Amino acid sequence: MRNKGMMTIEACVIIPISVFLSITILWIGILVYNRTAINYAVSGGLIYGEQIAEKDNETICREVKDKTAELLKDKLVLVEEPQITVSVQFGNIESELEAYMDSPPVPAMGAMFRSGTWDLGVTKKVRRERKAKVIRLIHRLDNAIEEKAEDNTEDNTEETGELSE
């Protein structure tokens, strides 16, 4: 064997670097997957909350929380049980999810992320539009359009002296 020095370089430098990069890429892939799953679940819960906006606040909170938990069930990898908080005000439904994922068991990664955990928390808010409110808004817009059309008709009558259709 002539290349004894090459095996030493390979064992001391190349293999540890490639293992470190492989673990880092794997962990970042898991992190991105978990973030996507959390965003999907929170958004899905809020969309459901928007559909049931006519119900009372406690019912909306409970059902949005249940829907978010259902969408997250068995989807997260290496994450402890997340905390879901839902609040409902007159015009908004807000959902907050807090979850943490441990950083990889590599000493250099622990130095990069001092706390040892990655925060996967997300907060989203959606407007709570009640059907009656939307119907009133449509009627107001219809009335405004009719008034504008009448104003335009009056302006045309003044300019030409006759009624235009």
Q: Quick: pLDDT tens for 83-127.
A: 999 999 888 999 999 999 887 766 666 556 666 788 899 999 998
Q: Give the range among 22-26, 45-49, 143-147, 157-161 with minimum mean pLDDT.
A: 157-161
**How much is the pLDDT for 70?**
96
* One-letter-per-residue 3-state SS of the chain: CCCHHHHHHHHHHHHHHHHHHHHHHHHHHHHHHHHHHHHHHHHHHHHHHHHCCCCCHHHHHHHHHHHHHHHHCCCCCCECCCEEEEEECCCEEEEEEECEEECCCCHHHHHHCCCCEEECCEEEEEECCCHHHHHHHHHHHHHHHHHHHHHHHHHHHHHHCCCCC
**How much is the pLDDT for 128?**
85
If one compares 44 and 164, the residue with the highest pLDDT of the two is 44
**How much is the pLDDT for 39?**
97
Q: How many residues does this entry show for the chain?
A: 165
Domain 4-129 part of CATH 3.10.450: yes
**How much is the pLDDT for 5?**
58
Highest mean pLDDT among 2-11, 41-50, 111-120, 136-145: 41-50
Q: Where are the domains of the chain?
A: 4-129, 130-165
**Are the C-beta atoms of 84 and 66 separated by less than 8 Å?**
no
